[in-house]
Structure formats: structure tokens, C-alpha cells
Structure 1
Amino acid sequence: MKISVFTKPGCQPCRMTKKFLSEHDIAFEEVDGLEHIDELREEGFAQFPIVKTETDTWSGFRPDKLKALV
């Protein structure tokens, strides 16, 4: 499953999301969210991180969604 995590510098929820994925050996691609900020805003996102999987997309640190990936 492909997982992309859009992050920005200094983002605590971003670090927590990446830590969770790494600790559970879940491969992901980190993407600089600031390079895609206009696209992400158009999609309705207002906070980081933004996590996109093949079947779901969400923003913020979401342990419930992350646990479903394990």
C-alpha cells in the first residue's frame, strides 16, 4: 500500500505520525507539504500532516486511522 505523508517543518503532529508509522514498520513517503500547499488547500485541508493512502485521506495526528494501517 502506498502511503504519502505531507508534512511541514516544526510540526509536532507530523513527527508523531511519522514516528507511529516507523515504529510499526509501515513504509511511507514523506512529502514537503509546503511545496503543495495550494493543491492541499484546494482539497480542503487546513492542518498538517495530511496522510494519503490508496483508500483514505485525512489530516492531523489520527491514532485511530493509523492503527487501522497496522
Structure 2
Amino acid sequence: MTVPRLKFIDITRNMMSVTVYSKPACVQCTATYRALDRLGVDYEIIDISADADALDRVRGMGYMQVPVVVAGEQHWAGFRPDMISALS
């Protein structure tokens, strides 16, 4: 008699918290939102022009441009389709 193998699904991957640090009228930010939306990734947007603490966090990570995307332990700046697709 064969015992069926269990298939484990990593549900934590889809539960990762994703934050997009952004500012108004940012073309790369809009492209990032659209790519995340297409993949069905939930995310929070934080406007660094209205939140001084958020701006300090972004600068503390070494970034001087937006969008800055923080996904779990990973983070990057700019529109990065390669990094975004890895989230799905």
C-alpha cells in the first residue's frame, strides 16, 4: 500500500507585509502599484511627503528616491518588475 505524499504549501509567502513608500506625482510609484495590483499583492502606501518619520526610515535604509518597497526582509528602490514578480 502506498502512502500518499503530503504537499505543503508555503502560505506565509502570500501573507508577507508589503509597504510602498511613495510621494505624489511619482511615475515609478504608479508603475509599481499597477504591477502589484496585477499580481494580486496586497500592500500599504505611505506618502513620505506627508510623513516625516517615514522619510527618515527611507533615508535610514540608504535610499534617496521613491518608490521604496519593503517586503519582509527585502527592500529596494525604483520600479523593479523583477523584484515585484518574485512576490507572487
TM-score of the pair, normalised by structure 1: 0.91
Which residue does 1:31 correspond to in 2?
46
Which residue does 1:69 correspond to in 2?
87
Give the greater-gyration-radius structure (CA).
2
Matched, 1:55 2:70: no
TM-score of the pair, normalised by structure 2: 0.74
Structure 1 stretches (4+) deviating beyond 6 angstroms?
none
Identify, as 1 or 2, the structure richer in helix: 1
Query: What residue ranges of structure 2 are gaps of 5+ in the alignment?
Result: 1-15
Query: What residue ranges of structure 1 are gaps of 5+ in the alignment?
Result: none
Give RMSD over aligned pairs: 1.0
Partners of 1:43 and 1:24 lie apart in 2 by: 26
Matched, 1:46 2:64: yes
Aligned residues: 70
The percent identity for this pair of structures is 34
